Amino acid sequence: MVVTALGYQAARAFPDGAPWGAADPDAAENCATCHFDGETVRNSQALAVEGLPENLSPGTLYELVVTFQNPGGVAAGFQMIAWAGNHSAGTFASRATHTETVGTAIRSIAPTKKAGPVSWPVQWRTPPTIDTTVSIHVAAAAANDDQSPLGDRIHFRGYEIVPQ
């Protein structure tokens, strides 16, 4: 009983969404910090970002779609961040409901309640100058929607994109 209560507290620690940067599987507070019951899936083939170019052009707006097959889940959420070295790489925007952005990151703030595939449209504008490889980290939760950390599984995927 105590473990369940503590686990529930962990899941409720970020009721408005995961901490910014949680899409990076190597971050101290990543998505698996609160959704810790299932083993995480790194480089998940169930998670993809459609529309990413092979090479980046500075100051370009890319229309992206985060897609997630949501294996075993009845609800899903996501977060995505873009980094170049140790600084942010561009800005995100979205017209999708229940999402919010803070410059170089975007996340869902309410679960998409759907078993099976889900997707979130995202716009990403690259910085005006790009002099190094950009890392895109995306994470998605295949959740059971019981408002606890139990029964959820986090999927991570990363992309490296070089400037033109």
Which domain CATH number covers 7?
2.60.40.4060
pLDDT tens by residue, 125-155: 999 998 899 999 999 999 888 877 788 899 9
User: What's the structural domain count of the chain?
Assistant: 1
Partner residues linked to 47 by β-bridges: 68
Please return the burial class of 67, using the count of CB atoms within 10 Å of its CB with bins 0-12, 13-18 and 19+: middle
Could you tell me the residue range of the domain that residue 63 belongs to? 2-163
Residues of the chain with pLDDT under 50: 1-12
pLDDT at 59 (0 to 100) = 93
pLDDT at 30 (0 to 100) = 83
Q: How far apart are CA 47 and CA 80, in angstroms?
A: 11
Sequence-ordered list of residues with C-beta below 8 angstroms from that of 130, at least 6 positions apart, any chain:
56, 58, 84, 89, 163
Residue 100: name the closest of 154, 155, 19, 46 by CA.
Answer: 19
Structure tokens at 51: 């529309």
Q: How far apart are CA 124 and CA 146, in angstroms?
A: 32
Sequence-ordered list of residues with C-beta below 8 angstroms from that of 3, at least 6 positions apart, any chain:
none
Angstrom CA distances, 132 to 34, 49, 62, 88, 114, stand at 32, 20, 18, 12, 38
